[in-house]
Amino acid sequence: MRKSVLAAATAVLVMAPAATQAKAKPTFDATITRTTYGIPHIAAKDWRGVGYGVAYAYAEDNLCLLAEEFVTVAGERSRFFGPEAKAVLGFEEVDNLSSDVFFRAVIDLPALRESAGALTPRAQQLIEGYVAGYNRFLKDAGAQGIPAECRGKAWVRPITADDMLRMNEKQMLLASSLNLAPAIANAAPPGSPAPKVAITMPDPKELGMGSNGWAFGSEVTADGRGMVIGNPHFPWQGPNRFWQMHIKGPKGYEVMGVGLAGTPMVTLGFNRDVAWTHTVTEAQHFTLYQLALDPADPTRYLVDGKSEAMTAQTVTVPMPEGKPAVTRTLYSTRFGPVFVVPTRGVTWNAKTAFTLKDANRGNQRGIETWLRIGEAKNIGDVRAAVSETLGIPWVNTIAADRHGDALHADVTAVPNVSAEKAKTCATPIAGLFAEFAILLDGSKSSCDWDAAPGTPVPGLMPANDQAATTVKTWLTNSNDSYWISNPAMPHRELSPILGEYRTARSLRTRSNFIETGTALAAGKLDHARAKALAFGNASLAADLILPELLTLCPTAEGAAARGCAALAKWDRRFDADSRGARLFRAFWQGIGSIKGLWAVPFDPADPVNTPRDLGTEGENAAKLLAALASVVTAMEEQGLALDSRWGDEQLVMAGNAAIPIHGGPGWLGILNMQESERAASGKLIPRHGTSYIQIVGFDEKGPVADAILSYSQSTDPASPHAYDQTRAYAQKRWHRLPFSAKDIKAKAIGKTRRIAE
């Protein structure tokens, strides 16, 4: 039914009378050609047409998801879904009322409207086109063309430019303020009722954000040109899913890759000369401030001994029909909004309050940054784009060009806080926050961010004080800090706000260095070796501990002996056919608390190979076997086989059909990361991990790209593109992306459609 409605709408669009078309040139005009897996190739002669076509095609695939996200950023979730229900905000679940209060208070729409006027004309036109394209789809689809999941819902409505400004702001805050939304939304002066919702201080390393990215230069590739492997780890559900597109726009702009919900251009992909990917950076994009409050009034704070009033903002959140609206007053300072996390001792009392100042608040520069990357001719252009705009919000940029240069730029919108300032402005309790953020003294104006010449916004750290490296060998990142992108060339030490220095790397980072070195030792990189590297399902944790663990097994009895037998036969991989992987996954989780787990401690002179060697001395041997026995017993009580196929344990349901999913947790040192949650059935369902995987090189004609989108293009179960790429991913089948007009024509599914108005 839905297909016939869309077809009818298309016929109306392309068969408009010639006389009508001749009256006036359309304001919005684009063509859409779909190829294998439903990938849209959007062509337009101007930027309005680009945004128009992207929005229309995205809505065809993911209307319900996008419509709900517009409700979220407008602060209307409580009205339509109830205040106590929860939804994913950023990467974590948040109650709807806290979400609504946050968006209505923190997103400053008047300020966003004002700053939108400073956007480049093409960025403004992209937004204008996106609004028109989304609304055009709603009109063409009609009531019966809306997917069943949101058909007839009042929250599926036309949008305005305000919705796009809010959406962009939300994306910029994903790795910062958004993670403290309940803490900000529920902050109230002393004497106020305690928050009714649980508030946590999130661990940045556990926010569901990750990725692997590689850039290879001419000295290590088979053809002497650059190559990029992109393996971003993003959620399988919700608005932070990637979506593939190919855009051919004005003045030679032609880019293919992916974007998130509501993004009008490619944010990760390639053009004819350059390919790039992103990984979430360890750099911090905000600072916390501890305020000294005025003894006479807890809504005033002292700066350099002078009392200063907080800014009060009252927001009203509409409730479901028949229920009164909820009103809250939030407070903000020169150092950002006040927040509370009572379980961590972060409270607002008569003496002290805490605030968060975010470098990405109001950052609309990212649109132009990604447009500039998309039109880059070489790595120098990419580096200039991220450095001059400081518009990249919270990700590393890893890129290579056809000339054989490779780049890793950990250059983002970061507070300009030097190591010296972080030290001299630290408060006595700063150490309690160290894993989360830098805490500064808000009683001193000198502890505000330093203004540096040449930055687009005062208080941002200049690019030349951040980390960027260009080589002709290789560089990689798996979410650890800038310190090491290649073990052969560690970076000099920079401000602590950019990440940890000379500290232990994650098992996934170490696995990356080891497997990359192994791949290059076997020969120069080509697409075949790159594919094997991207789908590296070996577990470094298993390689590090199983040899020593199995030496203890001759003395094991009962459940421990049965666990030993299963692990001895396991191939130490998380492929679909691997048997015993679920047992090891559970065992590793159970031994983290054992002291002296590693016999050889971390050595900053050898970060790739330390720590290592399972510590089996003293009581550790008995503790390890006891932990194994405990896991075995628990699995057997749950009816789980110790030697089950991993693909029978980690899966996705496509209707009644199970699709086995390979890959495993990054904390097991698995590059092809899949973090899963246990379902009621006992099976493990991917929550976030490997998403859009691309391998991009170049020949004399243009890019040569193999890719797959693990969770497929569409969130509409009725779409033929809801699970097609998921099945391909399960079989480790890659897709050679069509970029040239000839290849697009050869792989087209259906006719090219023109939309215009």
What residues are annotated to the active site?
211
CA angle, residues 77, 83, 87, in degrees to nearest 5:
55
Measuring CA to CA, how many Å separate 548 from each of 164, 412, 570, 611, 657?
55, 43, 15, 14, 40
How far apart, in whole angstroms, are the C-alpha atoms of residue 277 and residue 690? 13
Q: Which residues of 166-196 are buried (b: 16+ CB within 10 A; e: fewer)?
A: bbbbbbbbbbbbbbbbbbbbbbbbeeeeebe
For residue 709, count other CB atoms closer than 10 A to its CB. Answer: 26
- Find out whether 436 and 496 touch, Cβ atoms under 8 Å: no
Q: How many CB atoms lie within 10 A of CB 314?
A: 10
Number of neighbours of residue 318 by Cβ within 10 angstroms: 15
Helix axes 540-552, 620-637, angle to 10 degrees: 110
C-alpha span between 421 and 31 (Å, rounded):
53
For 183, phi and psi rounded to 5 degrees? Answer: -65, -35
Q: Which residues contact 310 (CB under 8 A, 6 or more apart)?
A: 299, 300, 301, 331, 332, 333, 338
Q: Distance between CA atoms of 443 and 423, rounded to whole angstroms?
A: 15
Q: Return the structure tokens found at 506.
A: 């994650």
Please report, for residues 106, 217, 535, 613, 695, the alpha-carbon distance to residue 226 in angstroms, rounded to integers and kept in the order given.
42, 5, 20, 37, 11
Cβ pair 686, 676 in contact under 8 A = yes
Omega within 30 of 0 (cis) for the link into 453: no
457 token code pair? 């916004």
Distance CA 376, CA 186 (A): 44
d(CA 144, CA 423): 61
Helix axes 47-73, 121-145, angle to 10 degrees: 70
- Token readout for 46 is 């101007």
Token pair of 137 as six digits: 């789809």
Q: Which helix (H) or strand (E) holds 160?
A: none
Give how far Cα 65 sits from Cα of 71, 166, 689, Å: 10, 16, 19
The amino acid sitting at 130 is: Y
Place of tokens 């560089």: 475
